């Protein structure tokens, strides 16, 4: 009878590695999800456009980290702004009072940003 190449010791090494790696992967994937910006607005909703109307006037950007405006402070974004109507959020977008209730992405930013109280 041939002895198995997969010993009990190998099994426990593999199990210990899996126990160590799974929580790490969970942490990495959840942090990526938190950092990712939605790329497509909700179907059938008016989406704010950075290149025209209030979007242009208020220098709206869909990714706050790309703003070159001197008023921008790291960490500020639509999702934490008092004008972001989170109760009507849909797929990472929500209507913004300052954008005439057009939908903005939760990680966007504009010069009217005001932190939620």
Give 28 or 86: the residue with its C-beta nearer to ligand SF4. 86
Q: Which of 78, 92, 103, 107 binds ligand SF4 (CB under 6 A)?
A: 78
Q: Which of 62, 67, 72, 112 binds ligand SF4 (CB under 6 A)?
A: 112
Q: Which of 72, 84, 93, 103 binds ligand SF4 (CB under 6 A)?
A: 84
CA distances from 3 to 7, 9, 13, 14, 73 (A): 9, 14, 19, 19, 64
**CB atoms < 10 A from the CB of 4, how many?**
8
Which of positions 87-106 make contact with ligand SF4 (CB under 6 A)? 96, 98-99, 104
Q: Are strands 103-105 and 93-95 parallel, antiparallel or unpaired?
A: antiparallel
């Amino acid at each position: 009878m041939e002895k198995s190449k997969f010993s009990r010791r190998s099994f426990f090494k593999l199990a210990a590695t899996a126990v160590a790696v799974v929580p790490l992967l969970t942490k990495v994937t959840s942090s990526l999800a938190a950092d990712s910006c939605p790329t497509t607005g909700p179907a059938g909703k008016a989406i704010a456009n950075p290149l025209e109307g209030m979007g242009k006037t208020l220098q709206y950007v869909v990714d706050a980290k790309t703003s070159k405006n001197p008023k921008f402070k790291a960490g500020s974004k639509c999702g934490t702004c008092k004008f972001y109507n989170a109760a009507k959020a849909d797929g990472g977008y929500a209507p913004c009072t300052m954008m005439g209730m057009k939908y903005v992405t939760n990680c966007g930013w504009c010069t009217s940003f005001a932190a939620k109280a």
